[in-house]
Amino acid sequence: MGIAVKNRMVSMALIEKEARKIYKQYYKATHRDGALDLKTKELVAISVSAVTGCQGCLKGHLKKAIHLGITVEQIREAIAIATAVAAATVIDSTDIANQELGLVTDDFGE
């Protein structure tokens, strides 16, 4: 979520006060037990943070995960899924290159 300095989020300093308030309310509403338990939500947050490159988010969610008792193996699996999805986006984007180069394949390496 950003760099914390004396319990303040530096990354939020330039965000208008009302928008910060709305964001914080939304964050609190989504980061609690619901249809998904909090541990699952933190694993999702770790995965998304890794894919989007949000280093502050990743650090914060890793700390929360450890506090919740999430294991390194669970984090490893969540990041592996994120890696596979991120790789798939690159593979999917090759459709443009395949079309431009006249290449088509049905072989997915299976």
Q: What CATH class does 37-101 carry?
A: mainly alpha
Domain boundaries, the chain: 1-30, 37-101
Helix (H, G, I), strand (E, B) or coil at 1: coil
Give the model's pLDDT for residue 94. Answer: 87
Give the model's pLDDT for residue 98. Answer: 86
pLDDT (tens digit per residue) in 40-56: 999 999 999 999 999 99
How many C-alpha atoms does 77 have within 13 Å on its Cβ side?
Answer: 7
**Taking the model in full, what pTM does it have?**
0.75
Question: Mean pLDDT per 10-residue run, the chain (110 residues)?
Answer: 55 90 94 95 97 94 97 98 93 86 72
Question: Which burial class, exposed, middle or buried, applies to 70 when counting CB atoms under 10 A from its CB (0-12, 13-18, 19+)?
Answer: buried
User: Nearest CA to 36 among 66, 68, 67, 59?
Assistant: 68
Structural tokens at position 43:
């694993």
